[in-house]
């Protein structure tokens, strides 16, 4: 512990963000950097706990507790405090293949489990993580590190999102020849098309992909396995296959008027906008001058709010069926669980700056969509309440007489995802569970020998950091499968 009294001397540095009314004018990332003095002080706040929870990576009652990839957080916090940046980078890279991604988009369950957070603002773990990796790139410390020798084994990875990339990176480190297949035109999966530029600039993803290429990973884009390349061919040509296709079937809104023009899935809206920004499409789903309704919360809903604002929306309203979270932890949400508390994310903060209020409306359900000449014009909502039934399951009930109508020219459905597209796992002969996710055993092998799965396609919709974790663990399982029960890769 570098400074035993650090947490008493220094307060948490507020997040460095560009003013909302400034940043909504462009698509650049919202967070400027920090001075080194500030970062060292923030590192000094880490208490180097005897039993740290920040890197535990467990689930408690379905909520994350600590870092799923088990980052060595107290160690690199101390090194940053001491100004030993290169050593901090080495510790960070031991557990995290892509800290420049998690340092930007992760909600930081580590901070929710920080011991200091019991009675003070938590350590700025996420900020320090991102500054370490960016310092590493700036100083030229992050360089290609191809394996010293090859095993002669070949592995195909299907999908280039965070799970696929982390699996590929680890398997390449083990010396296997890795080929990643991506059906889209760019490598990165949701990192490219699912997360907008202001959260994760695409140059950051491209920088990492070029590094992985230099380390020897082969990338094949514009190739859909099962359509352009048969599953049987991959099984024949490779010694193992890893499926990391994500959870890509969106949950639909089954109400009257769903078929109207102007009603879209959130991901279609976000993908179209990113492709337009990248110059890959001349048109996109524009919110310019429109009354926009976003149905659903979470990161995707927030990204829709921020994107619609930048496109010039007339108004944005976000509907949530859950109640507004409390300002502080509730009694059934104790530390070190992820704190379910009220906060303004970047999109809501921008909406509030433009229109004077948080755009979210809580405990509202969509009754129907109304249109004229085939295009949506109005959304009808009703207030709801949640009743706990005798069996303990919450039940949603409408409140009579609370129906309201809101103008709606563009409706974006951001209600999450229900599972992977079944055609691909079916082509590989993989069994699916009752939710449509790919079944695998404790070693990440599916019901088809030699075929493994990792990430959202098997665990369900989750965080980028969980996908990285599963990609790493699946890579170790594949390495053991190929190398007669032995692995040079870590078990975390």
Q: CATH number for the domain including 236? A: 3.50.50.60
pLDDT of residue 282: 63
Average pLDDT, stretch 362-382? Answer: 98
What lies within 8 Å, CB to CB, of 113 at 6+ separation is 53, 54, 56, 65, 66, 335, 336, 337, 338
Predicted confidence at residue 148, as pLDDT, reads 95
Q: For residue 304, what pLDDT is reported?
A: 98
Q: Residue 226 belongs to what domain range?
A: 154-248+418-482
pLDDT at 389: 81
Residues 95 and 158 placed together within one structural domain of the fold: no
Residue 286, pLDDT above cutoff 90: yes
Give domain status of residue 25, yes or no: yes
What angle separates helix 162-173 from helix 464-482, to the nearest 10 degrees? 40
Claim to verify: residue 371 and residue 401 sit in the same structural domain? yes
Q: How do residues 76-133 score in pLDDT, each as one tens digit?
A: 999 999 999 999 999 999 999 999 999 999 999 999 999 999 999 999 999 999 999 9
107: CATH: 1.10.1060.10
pLDDT value at position 421?
Answer: 96
Q: Which residues, at least 6 apart from 48, have a Cβ–Cβ distance to it below 8 Å?
A: 1, 2, 74, 77, 78
Q: Kindly report, residue by residue over 317-339, the tens digit of the pLDDT.
A: 999 999 999 999 999 899 999 99
Which of 86, 85, 54 lies closest to 70, judged by CA? 54
Confidence at residue 97, expressed as pLDDT on a 0 to 100 scale: 98
**Mean pLDDT for the chain overall:** 95
User: Tens of pLDDT along 405-441?
Assistant: 999 999 999 999 999 999 999 999 999 999 999 999 9
* Residue 492 belongs to a domain: no
Q: Helix 36-44 vs helix 125-139: angle between axes, to the nearest 10 degrees?
A: 140
Confidence band for 60, pLDDT divided at 50, 70 and 90:
confident
Inside any domain, residue 144:
no
What was the pLDDT predicted at 1? 65
Q: The whole model's pTM is what?
A: 0.95
Are 372 and 101 contacting, i.e. CB atoms less than 8 angstroms apart? no
Please report which helix (H) or strand (E) contains residue 384, including its range: strand 375-388
């Amino acid at each position: 512990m570098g400074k035993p009294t650090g947490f008493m001397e220094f307060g948490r540095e507020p997040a460095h963000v560009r003013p909302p009314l400034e940043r909504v004018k462009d698509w650049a990332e919202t967070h400027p950097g920090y001075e080194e003095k500030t970062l060292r002080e923030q590192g000094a706040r880490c208490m180097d706990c005897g039993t740290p929870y920040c890197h535990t990576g467990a689930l408690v009652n379905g909520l994350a507790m600590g870092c799923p990839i088990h980052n060595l957080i107290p160690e690199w916090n101390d090194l940053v405090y001491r100004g030993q940046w290169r050593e901090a980078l080495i510790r960070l890279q031991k557990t995290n293949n892509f800290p420049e991604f998690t340092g930007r988009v992760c909600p930081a369950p580590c901070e929710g489990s920080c011991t200091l957070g019991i009675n003070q603002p938590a350590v700025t773990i996420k900020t320090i993580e991102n500054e370490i990796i960016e310092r590493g790139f700036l100083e030229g410390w992050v360089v290609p590190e191809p394996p010293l020798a090859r095993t002669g084994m070949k592995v195909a990875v299907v999908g280039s999102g965070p799970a696929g990339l982390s699996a590929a990176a680890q398997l390449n480190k083990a010396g296997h020849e890795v080929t990643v297949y991506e059906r889209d035109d760019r490598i990165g999966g949701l990192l490219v098309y699912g997360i907008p530029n202001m959260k994760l600039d695409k140059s950051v993803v491209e920088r990492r992909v070029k590094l992985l290429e230099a380390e020897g990973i082969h990338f094949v884009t514009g190739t859909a396995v099962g359509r352009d390349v048969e599953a049987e061919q991959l099984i024949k040509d490779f010694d193992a296959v890893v499926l990391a296709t994500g959870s890509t079937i969106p949950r639909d809104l089954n109400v009257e008027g769903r078929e109207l023009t102007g009603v879209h899935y959130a991901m279609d809206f976000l993908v179209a906008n990113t492709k337009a920004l990248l110059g890959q499409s001349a048109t996109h789903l524009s919110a310019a001058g429109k009354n926009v309704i976003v149905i659903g919360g979470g990161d995707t809903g927030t990204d829709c709010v921020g994107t619609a604002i930048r496109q010039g929306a007339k108004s944005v309203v976000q509907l949530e069926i859950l109640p507004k979270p409390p300002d502080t932890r509730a009694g059934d949400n104790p530390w070190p669980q992820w704190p379910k508390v009220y906060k303004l994310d970047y999109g809501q903060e921008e909406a509030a700056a433009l229109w004077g209020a948080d755009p979210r409306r809580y405990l509202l359900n969509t009754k129907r969509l109304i249109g004229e000449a085939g295009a949506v014009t109005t959304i009808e909502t009703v207030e709801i309440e949640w009743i706990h039934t005798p069996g303990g399951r919450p039940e949603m009930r409408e409140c009579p007489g609370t129906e309201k109508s809101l103008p709606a020219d563009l409706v974006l459905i951001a209600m999450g995802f229900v599972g992977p597209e079944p055609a691909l796992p079916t082509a590989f002969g993989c069994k699916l569970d009752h939710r449509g996710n790919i079944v695998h055993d404790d070693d990440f092998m599916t019901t088809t020998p030699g075929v493994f799965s990792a990430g959202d396609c098997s665990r369900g919709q989750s965080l980028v950091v969980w996908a990285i974790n599963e990609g790493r663990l699946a890579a170790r399982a594949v390495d053991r499968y190929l190398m007669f029960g032995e692995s040079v890769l870590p078990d975390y």
